[in-house]
Amino acid sequence: MPADPFTPGEVSAMDRALDLAARGVRGANPLVGAVILDADGATLATGYHRGAGTPHAEADALANARAAGADVTGATMVVTLEPCNHTGRTGPCSQAIINAGLGRVVFAVGDPNDAAAGGAAALRAAGIDVASGLGAGPAAELNARWTAATAERRPFITLKLASSLDGRIAAEDGSSQWITGPEARRDGQRLRARVDAILAGTGTVIADNPRLTARDADGGESRRQPLRVVVGRRQIPEDAAVRGSDGRFLQLAGHDPAGVAADLYGRGVRHVLVEGGATVAGAFLQAGLVDELVVYTAPLLLGAGTGSVTGLGVHTLADASRWRWDHAAGGATAMVGDDLRLRLEPEPALIRNNAKDA
Amino acid sequence: MPADPFTPGEVSAMDRALDLAARGVRGANPLVGAVILDADGATLATGYHRGAGTPHAEADALANARAAGADVTGATMVVTLEPCNHTGRTGPCSQAIINAGLGRVVFAVGDPNDAAAGGAAALRAAGIDVASGLGAGPAAELNARWTAATAERRPFITLKLASSLDGRIAAEDGSSQWITGPEARRDGQRLRARVDAILAGTGTVIADNPRLTARDADGGESRRQPLRVVVGRRQIPEDAAVRGSDGRFLQLAGHDPAGVAADLYGRGVRHVLVEGGATVAGAFLQAGLVDELVVYTAPLLLGAGTGSVTGLGVHTLADASRWRWDHAAGGATAMVGDDLRLRLEPEPALIRNNAKDA
């Protein structure tokens, strides 16, 4: 191995792969980008992972190379995460790389998922040159919360809030339909369609009688439905919409967010969308179990009514729950119809605190 | 006059002038953009108004033409507002246009300001060809609130809020310094430096003892200081920072926002920045007297504490105070350090309601 194990072409390809990775969406799977280089360091194809159920970045790049008629024999793949070695919803990437005849793979960080790890070893066993560590810092940071959730054997958890400019999710009289406009609600439906479970508290279910289903643009229910999870001990009416008729309804009496997360992980849930209400949101936030915060802000003021989050246990400003804008995965801010969508992730300090407490 | 009074070059120049106008900032003066065309319809120079105390769009465009060495004799100026005819902080634009030897002026809408009107007549009297109405719709909409304020003989009023993601301006124990970061606070200082008066309620002044002065980037007080206005009957301590020593302090016992606005207009104030607290903000909002809403949103959650706005009188969602994102004048959203700055203006319905009530 030379003094510098990576060529200048690989270094710039990793930057590009990181940019590509950031185009994906957060959830059950990490954000991953890939670039295929020829022997001269020229780009043959690129790819990235668009979210659970879609091709991995490596498979996407290989498909794009095929579509472009590029010969990838002996080529180098530069990818932000160790290629997986397991057959999930898609086949193992390590095998696809071997089958395609690539000569070298450069990846940033190893796969923390036990079931998926071993890709590097499989590639080496097939005679492919493998190097790692290039771009490891930014690659690790890009998926820090996903990696933490995977290590803790719990789902990745997205909290969705939809509030007025002054942080209200309902007016004084309880009216809340609809604070956000149709485009934002459709955007929320697209988010629902990506997750494995949608979670709400009994209070919200009794007050609003939501279906908690994923719907298509035309309002019909999507073919693939997430599990509908209601947490809390209060009795849900027999005719509550959330019960549905497909058996994908679950009530968990336990309120403890860590217990709920562990239970759902055991049921195969890898991405949970917490939809409300304010008390459930506060409980997951206080437990440090929110990995992604999606806030739809409607351009209106209410001046009174229900706040979007309660029970955080924050008495003074110094103890505030601190976040940072998530510029990856679709960007921190986007206009969605008349509403503004904000995306944030916890300050890294919160990740460290969690690790310390664990 | 031909069937279509405007050339294709003038039509596209007006679109460009409108885009240029939107680069300015809202306040005492309207947003205005200008484009100078030669006889072939080619652009000789452009200009726009950057805010009170800076050159008008016409003067800016003429200066840019001079700087570029362009000969504007006989040229056409396309401008979004009727050139002014009075000497304010800058000289009359009508005279500058006459002096420069232009042959034609196309403007979108007339100047509603009595003191500034008469520009078209002055231009015509000097033998310049004048046409108006091109782009009148968007030009009027661009400055709808400024025009309404001018017609009502009251200042243009900007309300600034700085809150957490969940709409809190202070934590449960009252701590509020600082919810937003240093860059957002500096941005707020730049906003202060542009206005004629900064307004707060006695509650905020007694609780926080703010100076309500405009400060430079280095923290020193700016040379030009807005009037510091405190509204309410409660006694302000003799040693309150807001009193200062420059005589630019004023306490108004009246709470009525319309009365306060009229009083300040009579003192020559054309742009007021309402800084707090929640009660004063609510009073100006409820009176329909907020023309521009600037919200600094910090990436943190408090879950309890003081809401950003109270006393709006909104009981149910249908009666919410409705706004729209202001994409002009610096844009609706901008990251300012770690905080997000949002800018909105009232829904046009609110303007109509005001007109109806008046």
Q: How do residues A131-144 score in pLDDT, each as one tens digit?
A: 999 999 999 999 99
A348 touches chain B (CB under 8 A): no
Q: What is the pLDDT of residue A16?
A: 98
Q: Is the pLDDT of residue B351 over 70?
A: no
Classify residue B309 by its DSSP letter.
-
Cβ contact, residue pair B317, A165, below 8 Å: no
Whether B152 is a known active-site residue: answer: no
Q: Please name the residue that has the structure tokens 């919810």.
A: B179
Residue B86 annotated as lining a ligand binding site:
no
A261 touches chain B (CB under 8 A): no
Closest Cβ opposite residue B299 in set A307, A322, A335: A322
Helix (H/G/I), strand (E/B), else coil: A352: helix
Residue B322 annotated as lining a ligand binding site:
no
A287 touches chain B (CB under 8 A): no
Cβ contact, residue pair A303, B316, below 8 Å: no
B282 touches chain A (CB under 8 A): yes
Task: HSE, CB side, 13 Å, CA atoms: give it for residue B15.
Answer: 5
Cβ contact, residue pair B168, A165, below 8 Å: no
> Do A254 and A260 touch, CB atoms closer than 8 A?
yes
B250 touches chain A (CB under 8 A): no
Q: Rounded to whole angstroms, how far apart are CA atoms B297 and B340? A: 5
Peptide bond into A325 cis (omega under 30): no
**In chain B, which residue's Cα lies nearest the Cα of A300?**
B322
**In chain A, which residue's Cα lies nearest the Cα of B172?**
A315
Distance from CA of A85 to the nearest CA of B (A): 38
Q: Encoding tokens for residue B278?
A: 């929640």
Q: What is the pLDDT of residue B348?
A: 81
Q: Which residues of A touch B177 (CB under 8 A)?
A: 317
Q: Rounded to whole angstroms, how far apart are CA atoms A105 and A130? A: 5
Share of chain B above pLDDT 70, in %: 95
Q: Which residues of B touch A295 (CB under 8 A)?
A: 165
Q: What is the pLDDT of residue A88?
A: 65
Q: What is the pLDDT of residue A336?
A: 97
A309 touches chain B (CB under 8 A): yes
> Do A98 and A128 touch, CB atoms closer than 8 A?
yes
Range with the lowest mean pLDDT among A7-21, A183-197, B114-128, B143-157?
B114-128
Q: Is the pLDDT of residue B357 over 70?
A: no
Q: How do residues B270-313 score in pLDDT, each as one tens digit?
A: 999 999 889 999 999 999 999 999 999 999 999 999 999 998 99
| Interface test with chain A among B317, B336, B345, by most A beta carbons within 10 Å | B317
Closest Cβ opposite residue B316 in set A173, A293, A323: A173
CB burial of A246-262 (b: ≥16 within 10 Å; e: otherwise) equals eebbbbbeeeebeebbe
Helix (H/G/I), strand (E/B), else coil: B44: strand
Q: What is the pLDDT of residue A349?
A: 63
| Interface test with chain B among A161, A301, A316, by most B beta carbons within 10 Å | A301
Q: What is the pLDDT of residue B331?
A: 93
Q: Which residues of A are annotated as a binding site for Zn(2+)?
A: 56, 84, 93
Residue B162 annotated as lining a ligand binding site:
yes
Residues in chain B: 358
Q: Is the pLDDT of residue B21 over 80?
A: yes
Q: What is the pLDDT of residue A116?
A: 66
Residues in chain A: 358
**Mean pLDDT value across chain B:** 92
Phi-psi region of A55 (alpha: psi -120 to 50; beta: other; left: phi over 0): beta
Q: Rounded to whole angstroms, how far apart are CA atoms A86 and A96? A: 11
Share of chain B above pLDDT 90, in %: 85
Q: Encoding tokens for residue B131?
A: 């046409």
**In chain B, which residue's Cα lies nearest the Cα of A164?**
B167
User: Residues 154..183 of B with a Cβ closer than 8 Å to A: which?
Assistant: 161, 163-168, 170-173, 175-177, 179
Q: Which residues of A touch B337 (CB under 8 A)?
A: none
Q: What is the pLDDT of residue A358?
A: 35
Q: Which residues of B touch A314 (CB under 8 A)?
A: 171-172, 301-304
> Do A338 and B314 touch, CB atoms closer than 8 A?
no
- C-alpha distance from residue A74 to each of A4, A118, B51 (Å): 21, 21, 61
Average pLDDT over residues B322-340: 95
Q: What is the pLDDT of residue B352?
A: 40
Q: Is the pLDDT of residue B88 over 80?
A: no
Which position has the higher pLDDT, B120 or B354?
Answer: B120
Q: What is the pLDDT of residue B116?
A: 65
Neighbours of A278 (CB within 10 A): 23
Closest Cβ opposite residue B320 in set A171, A177, A317: A171
Residue among A40, A53, A45 at smallest CA distance from A20: A45
Q: How do residues B181-227 score in pLDDT, each as one tens digit?
A: 999 999 999 999 999 999 999 999 998 899 999 998 888 888 889 99
Residue among A136, A166, A160, A352 at smallest CA distance from B305: A166
Distance from CA of B317 to the nearest CA of A (A): 5
Q: What is the pLDDT of residue A3?
A: 54
Phi-psi region of B87 (alpha: psi -120 to 50; beta: other; left: phi over 0): beta
Neighbours of A79 (CB within 10 A): 32
Q: Rounded to whole angstroms, how far apart are CA atoms B212 and B33? A: 32
Q: Are strands A104-109 and A129-132 parallel, antiparallel or unpaired?
A: parallel
Work out the pLDDT band at B314, boundaries 50, 70, 90: very high
Average pLDDT over residues B85-104: 87
Work out the pLDDT band at B90, boundaries 50, 70, 90: low
**In chain A, which residue's Cα lies nearest the Cα of B314?**
A302
Q: What is the pLDDT of residue A242?
A: 96
Q: Rounded to whole angstroms, how far apart are CA atoms A297 and A314? A: 22
Q: Encoding tokens for residue B223?
A: 């040379």
Work out the pLDDT band at B354, boundaries 50, 70, 90: very low
Q: Which residues of A touch B162 (CB under 8 A)?
A: none
Q: Which residues of A touch B310 (CB under 8 A)?
A: 303-304
Cβ contact, residue pair B317, A163, below 8 Å: no
**In chain A, which residue's Cα lies nearest the Cα of B162?**
A166
Average pLDDT over residues B100-127: 90
Distance from CA of B156 to the nearest CA of A (A): 20
Residue B163 annotated as lining a ligand binding site:
no
**In chain B, which residue's Cα lies nearest the Cα of A297?**
B165
Q: Rounded to whole angstroms, how far apart are CA atoms B254 and B262? A: 11
Write down the pTM of the prediction: 0.91
Q: Rounded to a whole number, what is the distance in angstroms from the first to the last CA of chain A?
A: 39
Selecting among A10, A58, A82, A292, the annotated active-site residue is A58
Q: What is the pLDDT of residue A355?
A: 39
User: Residues 312..331 of A with a Cβ closer than 8 Å to B: which?
Assistant: 312-325
> One digit per residue, pLDDT tens: chain A, 358 residues?
445 789 999 999 999 999 999 999 999 999 999 999 999 999 999 999 999 889 999 999 999 999 999 999 999 999 999 999 886 666 789 999 999 999 999 999 998 877 667 899 999 999 999 999 999 999 999 999 999 999 999 999 999 999 999 999 999 999 999 999 999 999 999 999 999 999 999 999 998 899 999 998 888 888 889 999 999 999 999 999 999 999 999 999 987 999 999 999 999 999 999 998 899 999 999 999 999 999 999 999 999 999 999 989 999 999 999 999 999 998 999 999 999 999 999 998 644 444 334 3
A310 touches chain B (CB under 8 A): yes
Work out the pLDDT band at B113, boundaries 50, 70, 90: confident
Average pLDDT over residues B327-354: 84
